[in-house]
């Protein structure tokens, strides 16, 4: 994980890369929190789970040819017209 890229100091911006890095940071934080609780002897367990498919406008940033392929799949999954 690039901490420089996470701070958005890169030359180019990618919505997908930024989203992926934020999810990776969340997993890393959850892992660290769980290890910290275990070391302290607490019986608290921390979990990071996949949120599933969420209909967000994130895909407005993808190339039109990929959108052409993904749109029918997304319409089926999200049940939108």
How many domains does the chain divide into? 2
Residues 59 and 40 in one domain: no
- Residue partners of 53: CB distance under 8 A and separation at least 6: 77, 78
pLDDT of 34: 95
Q: Residue 41: give the domain boundaries.
A: 1-50
From first to last of the 81 residues of the chain, give the pLDDT tens digit. Answer: 665 555 555 567 777 777 888 888 999 999 999 999 999 999 999 988 776 666 667 667 777 787 788 777 777 766 654
56, 33 contact by CB (below 8 A): no
Residues 39 and 59 in one domain: no
Can you give the pTM of this predicted structure?
A: 0.56
Residues 7 and 43 in one domain: yes
pLDDT of 32: 95
Instruction: Please identify every residue annotated as catalytic.
Output: 19
Residues 33 and 70 in one domain: no
Residues 27 and 57 in one domain: no
Residues 12 and 46 in one domain: yes
Q: What is the 3-state secondary structure (H, E, C) of 4-49?
A: HHHCCCCCCCCHHHHHHHHHHHHHHHHHHHHHHHHHCCCCCCCCCC
Cα 35 from Cα 49, distance rounded (Å) = 17
Residues 11 and 39 in one domain: yes
């Amino acid at each position: 994980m690039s901490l420089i890229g996470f701070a958005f100091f890169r030359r180019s911006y990618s919505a997908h890369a930024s989203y992926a890095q934020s999810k990776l940071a969340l997993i890393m934080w959850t892992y660290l929190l769980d290890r910290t609780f275990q070391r302290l002897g607490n019986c608290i367990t921390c979990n990071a789970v996949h949120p599933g498919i969420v209909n967000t406008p994130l895909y407005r940033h993808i190339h039109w040819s990929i959108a052409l392929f993904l749109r029918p799949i997304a319409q089926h999954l999200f049940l939108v017209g």
